[in-house]
Structure 1
């Protein structure tokens, strides 16, 4: 598919690592190792060339991520309300620290094989479709955690989270014109995420394919 976007807007990236990893017995999923590198290292390597900067959304002691050299931004909505709180934290941080940046790209911190054209294709789709937001998909599966968010919508998102107690991303995105961009799942699904111990074993196999590409 040929992209029509020639100038990709400055886009702040946020890696969402605030999950509790209950299916792995706790701990930080992005810190698990596959193919000799942590999942988080792989995510950073994929997104750094595509974004004007990266921050990490995580709760708890930020020192555990110190070796990655990223600013760690915690949720400020109490009760671990999910990824929307992490997206809101990133929008607020960007507004305060990167005033010239109008867009934030969110990605799950446990997706080691993200597309190298993720930001470009999402921007291309939301421009062509005159959309307010854009999210990724693969096969028949939407991945609303992986998307483009307009910084100017942060007030509306805060109201939805705090006043309406809204938690599901797709319920919020349904309020706006939304572009969805689909990637193929062969030779591997670029949005594969490591949720279980069994997934780590599969990720090892996929990492060999990905590193060879």
Structure 2
């Protein structure tokens, strides 16, 4: 199994007041840098899925993949763009992960890779945006997206993604959606 990571950084961050949430500072480093640090040892390559000016991510020296559709259809479009990029590079799977999840597990890929298609689960909640996607599904997912589907969880369920539980005292899939979440993440890193 050849795995490339696609970091989903194209959201509008409305609950944070707009802007690029993955570029917000967490302990003097952007959230995105924390995500990259967590994923880099687990995959063969990485790319960032984001619309707009790719220069804002230049410091990371990673490909920046825009959605193929201009109307910000959500993370599913980023997953399809990532699959297209990965297929062109010869990868069999992509790991999708949001750019605002700084505590991803060090064994994420190893555990998800026990299944051909798998998504993370913690504390009784499925995280379909944190998933290992077989690239061979890209045309079927593109068709679902073109048909109006926007829910990653629905697509993952439709194509048979298995849930893999990650238990522990802290939620490894904690994501920063609000200023309060950012404060919580700062506190979590301080301990």
Same fold, judged at TM 0.5 (above): yes
Aligned pairs (5 A) from 1:29-40 = 29-40=21-32
Residues 1-213 of structure 1: matches in 2 within 5 Å? Answer: 9-96=1-88, 98-99=89-90, 101-124=91-114, 126=115, 132-162=116-146, 164-186=147-169, 188-209=170-191
CA separation in 1, counterparts of 2:71 and 2:28?
A: 34
What displacement does 1:185 show? Answer: 4.0
SS in 2 for 1:174: helix
The structure number with the bigger radius of gyration is: 1
Structure 2's unaligned 5+ residue stretches are: none
The TM-score, its normalising length taken from structure 2, stands at 0.97
Count of residues paired in the alignment: 191
Q: Deviation at 1:17?
A: 0.3
Q: Matched residue of 2:101: which SS?
A: coil
- Matches of 2:10 and 2:4, distance apart in 1: 18
Deviation of residue 81 (structure 1)? 0.8
TM-score (norm 1): 0.87
Q: For structure 1, list consecutive stretches of 5 or more residues without a partner in the other structure.
A: 1-8, 127-131
